[in-house]
Structure 1
Amino acid sequence: MSVKVGQQCPVEKTVSLLSNKWKVLIIRELLIETQRFNALQRTLGGITQKVLTSNLKEMEKSGLVNREVFPVTPPHVEYSLTSRGRSLEPILETMAVWGLAYMAEEELQLEES
């Protein structure tokens, strides 16, 4: 598959938007529900505050994530997916199906050895 729009490959663009495991996992969690920062960090487990903040800012800039600040004390911020972010759901579903098949194959190979 070598479809290009102008000089940019659309697969390359998609990969650049989902450039690391954390972004994919953030999208996975926000597909389930809107979340506050601390809840998202707990759910992801293993992600540092700095890495989560950086990824959320990048994803907000690229139009995948919406950040809503509620004017209360203490400040309350919630993160959700934009419609563009939600449009990645079929990609994550396909990744999950492929991952399940891969893990099943891997398990069969271990049982055979």
Structure 2
Amino acid sequence: MLSIRDALEAVEGRWKLLILYALSENPKRFKQLAREVSGITDKTLSKELKSLELNKLIRRDVYNTFPPTVEYSITPHGLSLEKVLDELHYWGLTHRREVIGK
């Protein structure tokens, strides 16, 4: 049970899996993520990115430009959730058809 608790704490909440899914294709800047993860506020996105970074699921790269460019990317540890994200995606499609009928 401890391992499941650890896993849930790392990806808990409404947004973390959506952020990881958005980053699974390629690195993105903050505003790109905010657009892709519709409905999230900038404050919440910032908090969730910090948490994902602490759990080593994403990496934050700052480039020496003016103004500084910050880019977020998924780490190899974060990519290890790929099967979970894919299965959740397919389950969500089936669930949507079952419940909503679309």
Quick check: TM above 0.5?
yes
Q: Confirm whether residue 88 of structure 1 aligns to residue 81 of structure 2.
A: yes
Query: What are the residue-to-residue correspondences of 1:1-113 with 2, within 5 Å?
Result: 4=1, 9-107=2-100
- How many residue pairs were aligned? 102
Could you tell me the percent identity over the aligned residues? 36
Q: Say what the alpha-carbon RMSD is for the aligned residues.
A: 1.5
Task: Give the TM-score taking structure 2 as reference length.
Answer: 0.92
Q: Which SS does the other structure have where 2:72 is aligned?
A: strand
SS where residue 66 of structure 1 aligns? strand
Unmatched 5+ residue regions in structure 1? 109-113
Moved over 3 A (4+): none
Distance 2:44 2:20 in 1: 15
Closer, same or farther: CA 61–100 of 1 in aligned 2, 3 Å? same
* Secondary structure of the corresponding residue to residue 21 of structure 1: coil
Q: Which of 1 and 2 has greater Rg? A: 1
Distance in 1 separating the partners of 2:58 and 2:32? 16
- CA deviations on 1:58-82 (whole Å, 9 max, x unpaired) are 1111100100000010110000011
Structure 2 segments unaligned to the other structure (5+ residues): none
Distance 1:30 1:70 in 2: 18
Q: Which has the higher contact order (CA 8 A, sep 6+)?
A: 2
- How far does residue 10 in structure 1 lie from its aligned partner after superposition? 1.4
Q: CA deviation at 1:107?
A: 4.0
TM-score by length of 1: 0.84
